[in-house]
Amino acid sequence: MTYIYRSELPTEVQEALEKIETNLGGRIYGDVPGRIAFCEHEWILEMLALKYECIFSRDDLVKMMKDLDPDDIGPQERVNFYRTDLVIKTKDMQSSGEVRLVAVIASYIANLRCTNRALRAAKILERCTRHEAIAVVAGITHDPEILPLVDAGTVAWYQFRSEDPQAQEPQLQQPTQVS
């Protein structure tokens, strides 16, 4: 059997392999950014000048959708809504204390896909609750392509304070021996 070193492969093959590895890593550790956003939700709200009320669970999101016509929002869009990393009920501290909802999509590198997911989740929240919803993308860094949307106020950008996202990974516990 003959082995080939990665450095001997054509550049496009090396790049394709790197994308595959990145995608696999993203699937394996994909919930880490969401956990960081959960842990840093106070700072996200501070950035938005909002006061914490509660965090919605997935069950809460499912209940919200029950009042909508099933034909109004397709099954895949419902699934994507249920996968929103963080949905927070807040009160606006700068106005009359009105309820505001915050939809957070978290990723290592926030990009247009994340931004679009956050915007769609915020729109669904507004339809379900009749309260204003704010779309937030959170991550370690972001693609420059989202900056026009951030600058326009269409979506809010939050940079994680945690410098080591892997530090948030749960430690696997050894099984206890039953006698």
CATH of the domain at 32: 3.40.1350
Residue 170 lies in a domain: no
Least confident span in 3-17, 22-36, 66-80, 102-116: 22-36
Residue with tokens 């054509």: 10
Residue 4 lies in a domain: no
pLDDT at 174 over 50: no
Residue 51 lies in a domain: yes
**Structural domain for 45, as ranges:** 28-160
Percentage of the chain surpassing pLDDT 90? 46
Residue 173 lies in a domain: no
> What are the pLDDT digits (tens) for 112-142?
999 999 999 999 999 999 999 999 999 988 8
Q: According to the model, what pLDDT value does residue 28 have?
A: 41
Secondary structure element (H or E) that encloses residue 118, with its range: helix 112-129
**In contact, 133 and 123? CB cutoff 8 Å:** yes
Residue 166 lies in a domain: no
Please give the tally of structural domains in the chain: 1
Q: How confident is the model at residue 95 (pLDDT cuts 50, 70, 90)?
A: confident
Residue 171 lies in a domain: no
Task: Tell me the residue ranges of DSSP E strands in the chain.
Answer: 50-55, 86-92, 99-106, 109-110, 132-139, 141-142, 156-159
Q: How confident is the model at residue 9 (pLDDT cuts 50, 70, 90)?
A: confident
Residue 12 lies in a domain: no
> What are the pLDDT digits (tens) for 28-76?
455 788 888 999 999 999 999 999 999 999 999 989 888 787 778 888 8
Residue 176 lies in a domain: no
Mean pLDDT of the chain: 82
Q: Within its chain, how far is the Cα of 67 from the centroid?
A: 24
